Amino acid sequence: MRISAVAPRGMIAPVPAVPDLPVLPDLSDRTVLVTGANAGLGYFATEQLAAAGAHVLLACRSAERAARAVAAVRARVPGARLDVAGLDLADLGSVAACARAVDVGLDAVLCNAGVTGTDGRRTTADGLELMMGGNAFGHLALVAGLADRLRPGARVVTVGSIASRWSPLDLDDLQAERGFRSFRQYGRSKTAAMALAFTLDRRWRAAGRDGLALAAHPGFAVDVLSPSRPGVVEPSAVARRLARPARLLVQGKDAGAWPLVHACVGAGVRGGGYWGPGGVQELLGPPAPARAHDHVRSSDTGDRLWAAAEQATGLSLAGLA
């Protein structure tokens, strides 16, 4: 494999289970690529997958932060099978290079990395609005580049957000050129990413392809309620104490990663599905089927968005079907 940081094979030491959350099956025959695996949800998804024996490819923009994540996982999971590939979703050249570097079969791709907000409108290396270009179109381009590495039955899981509930797309202004508000554009980028996932699944089923495309969201997950991982997430004791009352409606990113991981490798998962926490308002709790709003699932919107993604990126996505 033409990527770095190959870890030694060995016995996998289980990570202590999060209370009331599922235990993963043996994943020693699975390979999963996780974007944005060096922090937050991506890090904890990587740790959980590695603890169950999966070979995990950490696709990250920063080599330094990726190395810290690898060290943190190895400290918890001796013998973890990890590789690192460079990936900047805001640069289609980097996306293509990452896809070319992966020369193993993939059982799942977790499209997790993303920008949650910007101070003013910013653009990618290719001139697209940063959140729409990276969160949605960049991931679709990556999956297109990996299409021939997806094994039969492979799953492509897009990380969505509860922000999609109140973020219908403006298909005439996907790049927020007529007016930019950071939180609104973030929500729209997540709506777009989810709509593309559901559209991909419809196209796969129409073509008879053996694969699943779906979405999952973490609920309301924050770093301060996450367990400490040196070099990756280190909430202070004071911040943790102050945040403790919020556990009624908020969870750590370790728990927020479980619906994402379940969508990648769990039982009962179907193409076009949507998973999230099963607690109050889908804010926290163990993985459960979630509801995606009609404006996210619209096939008309999805098809128009797909065409817009092809035009914006200059890529032909026909190979995905």
Question: Tell me, what's the pLDDT at 190?
Answer: 98
Tell me the domain boundaries of the chain: 31-315
Separation between Cα atoms, residue 319 and residue 52, nearest integer Å: 32
Q: Which residues are catalytic?
A: 186
Say which CATH architecture domain 31-315 belongs to: 3-Layer(aba) Sandwich (3.40)
Given pLDDT bands bounded at 50, 70 and 90, which one contains residue 123? very high
Indicate whether 258 pLDDT > 50. yes
Separation between Cα atoms, residue 316 and residue 297, nearest integer Å: 22
Question: Tell me, what's the pLDDT at 236?
Answer: 74
Question: Tell me, what's the pLDDT at 320?
Answer: 75
Question: Tell me, what's the pLDDT at 239?
Answer: 67
**Which residue type sits at 73?**
V
Mean pLDDT, rounded, of the chain: 90
- Helix 253-265 to helix 40-51 angle (10° resolution) is 60
The region of weakest confidence among 51-60, 141-150, 247-256, 295-304 is 247-256
The region of weakest confidence among 13-27, 107-121, 190-204 is 13-27
Contacts of 268 (CB under 8 A, 6+ apart): none
What percent helix, strand, coil does the chain show, rounded to 5? 45, 15, 40
State if pTM tops 0.85: yes
Separation between Cα atoms, residue 144 and residue 221, nearest integer Å: 29
Indicate whether 189 pLDDT > 50. yes
Given pLDDT bands bounded at 50, 70 and 90, which one contains residue 214? very high
56 burial via Cβ count (<10 Å: 0-12, 13-18, 19+): buried
Residue 136 DSSP class: I
Question: Tell me, what's the pLDDT at 12?
Answer: 35
Given pLDDT bands bounded at 50, 70 and 90, which one contains residue 242? low
Question: Tell me, what's the pLDDT at 54?
Answer: 98
Digit-coded pLDDT (tens) for 132-158 = 999 999 999 999 999 999 999 999 999
